[in-house]
């Protein structure tokens, strides 16, 4: 090899190394992941991508993504790869979008990505890439980071796509509790939902989250008692306590049973102490106090009404009394 050829080879190697470093610097803003199109735009050739993968410096993720590192892939890297696999107009959606935005203590098996109708849908391990008729250009959240839907869009869609009503209610409630979205934003977003088997259920849940009509949960309790053959309670009973007057949500006076119907606002810090003091005050006067979260009324009514019946029976009620 002559000196000129050796010099050209050194120069080529330096240029390749420079392109690799530039690509790795760009990828640092995307959890170390770049799409193939981004790599080619950075003047990294297909041959160089293959060479870096063979040299165990980089690793392929699916068909369209490359991680400029080796080893385990963190979730954020998988989120970027999922969007790249889905195409230029794709974004994280549903629960996956909320998790990327900071939702805690809610897990999903697959990363959900939405694409518009007509877009090509690729398959990939751990990915759930789907066309959606609800896709809109203003759905993605503004700013930098992995493309994902706005929190209110993600919460509603995630609830619509959930495996069960219980999971749907949990996702929406956690998003509100963790300050990612307001109940008002959820209400506005629900107006976009024209047809869905879970639409009425979620509308009721949003009313609960809003604090809605105060008597909503109490009316539901009374209706369920009639349906289940339990005695119908009195609602909004005025009671005088050591700290003033207050209302009991649901009361069976003849059996000394109180059920407090708790909306989401009862879990907020400013209400916890007052609720506890009122609960204790009622208990000290000799009544049994049960708590029924509105979320529980939506997703586990049988369990809570079984407890109500047990409390009534313990206080002396029997089904023969209602039958008579």
pLDDT in tens, 64-123: 899 999 999 999 999 999 999 888 889 999 999 999 999 998 888 889 999 888 777 676
Dist. CA 264–CA 143, nearest whole Å: 30
- Which positions ≥6 away from 174 have C-beta within 8 Å? 103, 104, 105, 106
Model pLDDT for residues 186-198, shown as the tens digit of each residue: 988 988 888 889 9
Model pLDDT for residues 158-196, shown as the tens digit of each residue: 999 999 998 998 899 889 888 899 988 998 898 888 888
Pairing label, strands 111-115, 127-131:
parallel
Calculate the average pLDDT of the chain: 83
pLDDT of res. 39: 94
pLDDT of res. 271: 55
pLDDT of res. 213: 42
pLDDT band at 32 (very low <50, low <70, confident <90, very high): very high
Half-sphere exposure of 146 (CA within 13 A, CB side): 32
Find out whether 113 and 90 touch, Cβ atoms under 8 Å.
Answer: yes
**Most confident by average pLDDT, 88-102, 203-217, 243-257, 294-308:** 88-102
pLDDT of res. 191: 85
Report which DSSP code applies to 197.
T
pTM surpassing 0.85?
A: no
Find out whether 13 and 21 touch, Cβ atoms under 8 Å.
Answer: no
Model pLDDT for residues 272-296, shown as the tens digit of each residue: 556 666 766 777 677 888 888 777 7
Check residues 264 and 58 and name the one with the higher pLDDT: 58
> What CATH number labels 216-323?
3.40.960.10
List the beta strands (DSSP E) in 126-256.
127-131, 234-241, 244-252
Say if residue 324 is exposed, middle or buried (CB neighbours under 10 Å; 0-12, 13-18, 19+). exposed
CA nearest 32: which of 10, 8, 11, 61? 61
pLDDT of res. 31: 94
pLDDT of res. 270: 46
Provide the percentage of residues in the chain whose pLDDT is more than 90. Answer: 35
Find out whether 106 and 170 touch, Cβ atoms under 8 Å.
Answer: yes
pLDDT of res. 217: 64
CA nearest 136: which of 89, 74, 71? 89
**Most confident by average pLDDT, 149-153, 191-195, 200-204, 242-246:** 149-153
Dist. CA 30–CA 33, nearest whole Å: 6
Collapsed DSSP state (helix, strand, coil) of residue 249: strand
Dist. CA 89–CA 66, nearest whole Å: 19
Helix 199-210 and helix 216-228: axis angle, to 10°? Answer: 130
Dist. CA 238–CA 240, nearest whole Å: 7
Find out whether 222 and 234 touch, Cβ atoms under 8 Å.
Answer: no
Check residues 142 and 275 and name the one with the higher pLDDT: 142
Question: Is 201's pLDDT higher than 60?
Answer: yes
Dist. CA 161–CA 284, nearest whole Å: 45
CA nearest 42: which of 24, 56, 67, 69? 24
pLDDT of res. 15: 84
pLDDT of res. 16: 83
Domains of the chain, residue spans: 11-67, 75-210, 216-323
Phi, psi of 120 (to 5 degrees): -70, 135
Model pLDDT for residues 55-70, shown as the tens digit of each residue: 999 999 988 899 999 9
311-323: b or e for each residue (b if 16 or more CB lie within 10 Å)?
A: bbeeeebeeeeee
Give the Cα-Cα-Cα angle 313, 314, 315 (nearest 5 degrees).
Answer: 90
């Amino acid at each position: 090899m002559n000196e000129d050829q050796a010099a050209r080879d050194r120069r080529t190697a330096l240029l390749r190394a420079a392109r690799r470093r530039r690509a790795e610097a760009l990828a640092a803003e995307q959890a170390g992941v770049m799409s193939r199109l981004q790599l080619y735009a950075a003047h990294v050739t297909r041959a160089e991508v293959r060479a870096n993968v063979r040299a165990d410096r980089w690793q392929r993720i699916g068909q369209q993504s490359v991680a400029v590192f080796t080893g385990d892939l963190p979730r954020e890297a998988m989120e970027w790869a999922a969007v790249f696999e889905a195409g230029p107009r794709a974004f994280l959606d549903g629960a996956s979008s909320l998790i990327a935005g900071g939702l805690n203590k809610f897990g999903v098996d697959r990363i959900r990505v939405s694409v518009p109708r007509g877009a090509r849908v690729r398959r990939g391990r751990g990915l759930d890439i789907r066309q959606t008729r609800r896709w809109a250009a203003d759905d993605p959240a503004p700013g930098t980071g992995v493309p994902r839907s706005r929190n209110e869009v993600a919460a509603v869609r995630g609830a619509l796509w959930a495996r069960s009503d219980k999971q749907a209610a949990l996702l929406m409630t956690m998003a509100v509790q963790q300050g990612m979205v307001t109940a008002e934003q959820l209400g506005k977003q629900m107006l976009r939902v024209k047809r869905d088997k879970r639409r009425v259920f979620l509308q009721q849940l949003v009313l609960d989250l809003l604090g809605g009509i105060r008597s909503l949960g109490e009316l539901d309790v009374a209706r369920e008692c009639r349906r289940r053959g339990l005695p119908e309670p009195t609602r909004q009973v005025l009671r005088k306590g050591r700290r003033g007057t207050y209302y009991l949500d649901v009361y069976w006076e003849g059996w000394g049973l109180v059920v407090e119907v708790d909306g989401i606002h009862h879990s907020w810090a400013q209400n916890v102490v007052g609720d506890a003091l009122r609960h204790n005050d009622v208990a000290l006067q000799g009544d049994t106090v049960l708590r029924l979260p509105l979320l529980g009324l939506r997703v586990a009514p049988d369990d809570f009404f079984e407890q109500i019946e047990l409390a009534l029976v313990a206080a002396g009620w029997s089904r023969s009394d209602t039958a008579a």
